[in-house]
Structure 1
Amino acid sequence: MRRFLARLGEALLTVWLLASLCFVLLRAAPGGPFDTEKSAPPEVQAALEAKYRLDRALPAQYAAWLGDVARGDLGPSFQYPDYTVNQLVAQALPVSLLNGGLALLLALLVGVPLGIWSAMRAGSWLDRLFMLFAGLGLAVPKFVVAPLLVLLFAVTLHWLPAGGWGEWTNVVLPAIALALPNLAYCARLARASMLDVRHAEYLAAARARGLSETRLLFAHALKPALLPVVAWLSPALINIVTGSAVVEQVFGIPGMGRYFVQGALNRDYTLVLGVVLVVGVLIVAINAIVDLMRAQMDPRLRDSVA
Structure 2
Amino acid sequence: MSAHVRPGSRALSRLLEAGLTLWLLATLCFVLLRAAPGGPFDTEKAAPPEVQAALATQYRLDRPLIGQYAAWLGDVARGDLGPSFQYPDYSVNQLIGNALPVSALNGGLALLLALALGIPLGVWAALRAGRWTDRGLMFAAGLGLAIPKFVAAPGLVLLFAVTLQWLPAGGWGEWRNVVLPVVALALPNIAYCARLTRASMLETLSAEYLRAARARGFSPARLLFAHALKPALLPVVAWLAPALINVVSGSVVVEQVFGIPGMGRYFIQGALNRDYTLVLGVVLVVGALIVLINTAVDALRGWMDPRLQDAS
What TM-score do the two structures reach when normalised by structure 1? 0.98
Distance 1:20 1:172, change over 3 A: same
* Structure 2, unpaired ranges of 5+: 1-7
Corresponding residue for 2:187? 180
Write the distance in 1 (CA, Å) between the matches of 2:24 and 2:311.
24
The aligned amino acid for 1:80 is Y
Q: Equivalents in 2 of 1:71, 1:5: separation in Å?
A: 21
2:154 aligns with one of 143, 147, 152 = 147
Question: Counterpart of 1:129 in structure 2: which amino acid?
Answer: G
Residue matched to 1:36: 43
Cα distance change on mapping 1:38 and 1:7 into 2, 3 Å: closer
Structure 1 CA distance for aligned equivalents of residues 278 and 121 of structure 2: 40
Structure 1 residue 37, shift from structure 2 partner: 8.0
Report the Cα offset of residue 39 of structure 1.
3.0
* Identity rate, percent: 79
Match of 1:61 in 2: 68
Q: Which runs of 4+ in 1 moved over 4 A?
A: none
SS in 2 for 1:15: helix
Residues in 2 aligned to 1:146 and 1:273: alpha-carbon distance in whole angstroms: 27
* Structure-1 separation of matches of 2:311 and 2:74: 34
Match of 2:4 in 1: none
Q: Distance in 1 between matches of 2:73 and 2:310?
A: 35
How many pairs were matched up? 305
Shift of 1:238: 1.0
Q: CA deviation at 1:38?
A: 5.3
Counterpart of 2:266 in structure 1 is 259
Deviations 1:101-151 (A, max 9, x none): 000000000001000100000000000000110000000000000000000
How do residues 218-237 of structure 1 correspond to structure 2 at under 5 angstroms? 218-237=225-244
- Cross-structure match for 1:88: 95
Give unmatched runs, 5+ long, in structure 1.
none
Where 1:32 maps in the other structure, the secondary structure is: coil
1:121-270 aligned at under 5 Å gives the runs 121-270=128-277
When the two chains are superposed, the root-mean-square deviation of aligned CA atoms in Å is 0.9
1:213 to partner: Cα distance? 1.3
Specify which of 34, 51, 59 is matched with residue 52 of structure 1.
Answer: 59
What residue identity is the alignment partner of 1:24? V
Distance 1:291 1:128 in 2: 33
Equivalent AA in structure 2 for residue 257 of structure 1: G
| Structure 1 match to 2:3 | none
Distance 1:94 1:304, change over 3 A: farther
The alpha-carbon deviation at position 59 of structure 1 amounts to 0.6
Match of 1:16 among 19, 23, 27: 23
Match of 1:278 among 279, 285, 290: 285
